[in-house]
Amino acid sequence: MNFETYLLLIGVPLAFGLWAQFRVSSAFKTWKAVPVATGLTGAQTASRILADAGIADVRVEEINDMLGDHYDPSGKRLCLSTDVYHGNSVASVGIAAHECGHALQHQMNYGPLNLRMQIVPATQFASQILPFVILGGFFFHMTGLITLGIACYAILMVFQLVTLPVEFDASNRAKAILQRMGIVRSGEEAGGVDAVLDAAALTYVAAFVAALGNLIYLIMARNHEER
């Protein structure tokens, strides 16, 4: 295993991930400063979209976790960070609408979302044992542990792969709904929503590439150990 291989499979995805994170932060910062003409906050946007879709059993809640916005399908909660919940910026309504996109997927039994929910427990288990498995495998040169590590990374990779259609679909729904309901105006406002949501989508692509890189690297490392 040479350094070039390590750089290509681990280093490049890591750099890509950091760059994607940076792009999300900068897009959020830029569009957090631009209010929408309608003056609606993220929370009001979410309530309107959910009501429009006839979803009455999802609660919109404020959470104290910057950019930790998410839809919780098991608790039927739409969790918005403080900036998004109270903010009436292009970024706030864009992110709120994206999370509503997940609630809509849940309502209509969107296949990839269901699949993603089903593999969450396996994914959590895999990521919890992974550090010990990898450390043990390389320290004690136990091929069995490395094989277990490969299985863990395979689960993580599949999870990140299934996440892609879920996230892209939620953003596409959000963009269309915001326009249709007149919450965001075409032109600058719609362009800002695109910028924020497209930057966020890129972080999911980066997470998938990183999981794939780790998986390939570990498979190569095991073959190297066996020789």
Active site residues: 99
CA dihedral of 50, 54, 55, 60, whole degrees rounded to 10 = 30
DSSP 10-39: IIHHHHHHHHHHHHHHHHHHHHHTSB-TT-
Q: Which is nearer to Zn ion, 113 or 152 (CB)?
A: 113
Farthest-apart Cα atoms in the chain, separation: 65
Q: Which is nearer to Zn ion, 58 or 170 (CB)?
A: 170
**CB of residue 99 to Zn ion, shortest distance in Å:** 7
Instruction: For residues 106 and 83, give the distance between their C-alpha atoms in angstroms, rounded to a whole number.
Output: 25
Say how many residues touch Zn ion, by CB under 5 A: 2
Q: Which two tokens stand for residue 93?
A: 């309504």
Q: Which is nearer to Zn ion, 61 or 225 (CB)?
A: 61
Site string for Zn ion, 55-94 (x = CB under 5 A): ----------------------------------------
**CB of residue 135 to Zn ion, shortest distance in Å:** 32
Which amino acid makes up residue 12?
A: V
Instruction: For residues 206 and 18, give the distance between their C-alpha atoms in angstroms, rounded to a whole number.
Output: 9
Which amino acid makes up residue 104?
A: L
**CB of residue 170 to Zn ion, shortest distance in Å:** 5
Site string for Zn ion, 155-194 (x = CB under 5 A): ------------x--x------------------------
Q: Which is nearer to Zn ion, 6 or 168 (CB)?
A: 168
132: CB partners within 8 A, 6+ apart: none
**CB of residue 30 to Zn ion, shortest distance in Å:** 20
Element (H, E) at 62: strand 59-63
Q: Which residues bind Zn ion (CB under 5 A)?
A: 167, 170
